[in-house]
Amino acid sequence: MADADFHVQDNADGSKSIFLTGRWSLRGVDNNFTDLRSQIAPFFSNPFTHWDITGVEQLDSAGAAILWTGWGHAVDKRVSLRPEHAALFEMLAALPAYHSVSASDGNVVVVAVQRMYDGCLGFIEHLVEFTYLLGALVLELLYVLRNPRRIPWKEISANVYKGGVTALPVTALVSFMIGIAMSYLMALQLRKFGADIFIINILGLAGIRELGPILMAIIVAGRSGSAMTAQIGVMRVTEEIDALTTMGISRVLRLVLPKIIGLVFVAPLLAFWTSAWAIAGGMLAANIELGINMEFFIDYLPRVVKPVTLTLALVKGLTFGLLVTLIACHFGLRIKPNTESLSTSTTSSVVSAITTVILVDAIFAVATRSIGL
Amino acid sequence: MNTPVQTPVCQVQGVWTQYGPAVIHRNINLEVWPGEVLALVGGSGSGKTTLLRHIVGLTQPTQGEVRLFGMSLAKLDRDEQRLARNRFGMLFQHGALFSALNVFENIAFPLRELHQFDENTIHLLVMHKLALVELEPEHAWLLPAQLSGGMVKRAALARALALEPELLVLDEPTAGLDPDRSEKFVRLINNLRRQLDLTVIFVTHDLDTLISLADRVAVLADQRIIAACGLHELAASDHPFVQNFFKGISNRLERMN
């Protein structure tokens, strides 16, 4: 079978006849319709050209579409074709016409204002849905307190393990390294003033008040937050959440509440764990760089870091854990059943969680500036 | 058109498949000829879908070879493989439409990947495919999630047909459709097969689909193909699986005659 081709014949009256041959079809694998169209295009413009396509071996929708658009969406007398091809062109004729979509209407300012307006509406929508989620959580919590048998212990313990226990190595490693880096930098500065001993104050306060809770929140948002959003999202896509609802099980009770209780329970512990490793890293570096004895370091630490700082770290850890889980579940429940929505929601979940945690941390820093310092 | 010696569209030669200790296929041989509609049937877990995946080149058999259009997909280089793959269309069991794209973009996707058509022609071709599978033009702008089960199958069929394939591979084309819809879908495939001169390989569990669509039936059981013949011959087979699976078939055939 031959590939698609055509030849031109000059008629006696000065017009031209085009004879099509070969397979005008995508099944002819060597056909290149771009070349073919550019070769044949000049002949479309002459309305007196006669077209003979009775000689083609095969004509499919692709070949027909090229000719059809070339002829200006009509088959008239100047075209000779076989009856089976006529049916194909009739089918093409019945299709709706193509309207090119205009790129943009309105000027830049209008579009920008429109975008901002849409963004604000989107933000308000988020807030409303977030409030709904909070309300549902409070109601479920009250329900569970009245019916203690309904407490999903298994799910809670699974979340403690997944969000807490398995996060231990990575949080330890990251905070230990950051502790070392911080301690080295500060040791160099402090030695200039001969204030070596203050490295314990700085490491103790920074490690417990800031580094521990913040590092914990960022790592948990990246590890567990994204996993929670994706899990709830996929459960929505595969209708598992609907299956739960038909069994009369509340999705907030089974999916959201255990995650929140589990993570709120482990977050402060993780924060302490993270602080401890940051201080350990700092202690090691201080020992090497400034020659501060480790026993002295541990002995001196409680004298400069007041117990109230620990309470503050505990409250921070609780708050951050709560925020990260709430945001993860909120975005998870908003996922629509397609892959694009899954990816954007998971990204937004992690980004919003980290941003919110840092914002709240700033508020904490200002509000508690007179406590424990 | 003169084709003196026909090569089979699909040729399965001595295929063995083994996952760990479990043998799925034991020396399977099968040929599908141009213009033929072949049904693959067998019990659950008999390896029908696995064989289908071997045929379209998604997986490789442990031993043996699958030749499509006389070529072994695995031995072709990248560009040749692409050309060969464009010669068949696959309809997955759940449609496998790209969920982030609307129906129009889903059908236009293989056409765009060819880089041979302008927007105008693509629009025409997509609308043509939608008309072929009897979907309305306005359905083109819906997302897969907004479609009903039958519409998903139709849209997926339109995408499989986008490149005018010679071979159509269908994995459970009527699974999950109600009898009325599945009857319509079978009629649609029968029409298309005549209009577009297609060869079809399909897997099914549904006897009605089997009877109204298949020219020839290949039965997978005991890791082998125990029969590959027409329905009437099959009804006479004395293999226990065939006896069981087709208990209803003779009744139906009688009713049809």
Other Cβ atoms closer than 10 A to A188: 11
Residues A43-66, buried b or exposed e (16+ Cβ, 10 A)? ebeeeebbbbbeebbbbbbbbbbb
pLDDT category at A118 given cuts 50, 70, 90 is very high
Q: Least CB-CB distance to A336: which of B117, B137, B145?
A: B145
pLDDT tens per residue, range A304-355? 888 899 999 999 999 999 999 999 999 999 988 778 888 999 999 999 999 9
Segment B27-49, tens digit of pLDDT: 888 888 888 899 888 877 788 88
Percentage of chain A exceeding pLDDT 90: 49
- Relative orientation angle of helices A212-220 and A257-290, to the nearest 10 degrees: 130
- Residue A104's pLDDT is 54
What local confidence, expressed as pLDDT, does residue B3 receive?
47
| Element holding A321 (H helix, E strand) | helix A307-334
The most confident of A292-296, B204-208, B213-217, by mean pLDDT:
A292-296
B189 within 8 A of B200, measured Cβ to Cβ = yes
Mean pLDDT over residues A19-46, rounded?
Answer: 80
Residue B168 to chain A, least CA–CA distance (Å): 13
How do B199-203 and B216-221 pair as beta strands? unpaired
- Model pLDDT, residue B182: 83
pLDDT at B2: 45
Distances (CA, A) of A269 to A204, A275, B66, B123: 17, 10, 58, 59
Model confidence over B177-213: pLDDT tens digits? 788 888 888 888 888 888 788 889 999 888 788 888 8
* Cβ proximity of B97 and B152 under 8 Å: yes
Instruction: Look at B86 and A26 and tell me if their CB atoms are within 8 Å.
Output: yes
- A65 has pLDDT over 50: yes
The rounded distance, in Å, linking the Cα atoms of A59 and A36 is 14
Collapsed DSSP state (helix, strand, coil) of residue B223 = coil
Q: Hey, are the CB atoms on A62 and B164 less than 8 Å from each other?
A: yes
Q: Left if phi > 0, otherwise alpha if psi is -120 to 50, otherwise beta: which for B223?
A: left
Chain centroid, CA B203 distance in Å: 7
Tell me, yes or no, if B205 comes closer than 8 A to chain A by beta carbon.
Answer: no
- Residue of chain B nearest A1, judged by CA positions: B1
Place of tokens 């043509």: B128
- Determine which of B121, B136, B196 to mutate to test the interface with A (most A C-beta atoms within 10 Å): B121
Is it the case that residue A370 has pLDDT exceeding 50? Answer: yes
Which residues pair with residue B224 across a beta bridge?
B221
| Contact call for residues A229 and A331 (beta carbons, < 8 A) | yes
The per-residue DSSP string of B142-181 comes to S-GGGS-HHHHHHHHHHHHHTT--SEEEEESTTTTS-HHH
Q: What is the pLDDT of residues B94-117, one digit of tens each?
A: 888 888 888 999 999 988 888 888
A325 neighbors A231 (Cβ within 8 angstroms): no
The answer to whether the CB of A319 falls within 8 A of the CB of A290 is no
The token pair at A192 is: 């200039």
Q: Looking at this predicted complex, what is its ipTM?
A: 0.74
Which tens digits make up the pLDDT trace of A87-101? 888 888 888 877 655
The position carrying tokens 């070879």 is B65
Over 60: is that where the pLDDT of A162 sits? yes
Q: Is B256 on the interface with A (CB under 8 A)?
A: no
Q: What is the pTM of this model?
A: 0.74
Q: A373 with A205: CB under 8 angstroms? A: yes
Residue B76 at interface with chain A, using a CB cutoff of 8 Å: no
| Burial class of residue A336 (count of CB atoms within 10 Å of its CB; 0-12, 13-18, 19+) | middle
Query: DSSP states of A40-89 as a string?
Result: HHHHHT-TT-EEE-TTEEEE-HHHHHHHHHHTTS---TTEE--HHHHHHH
Among A188-192, A232-236, B83-87, the least confident range: B83-87
Radius of gyration of chain B from Cα atoms? 19
Q: pLDDT tier at B252 (50, 70, 90 boundaries)? A: low
- Number of H-type helices and E-type strands within chain A: 15, 5
Smallest Cβ–Cβ distance between A62 and the set B115, B125, B145 belongs to B125
As a whole number, mean pLDDT of residues B2-24 equals: 80
Indicate whether A235 pLDDT > 70: yes
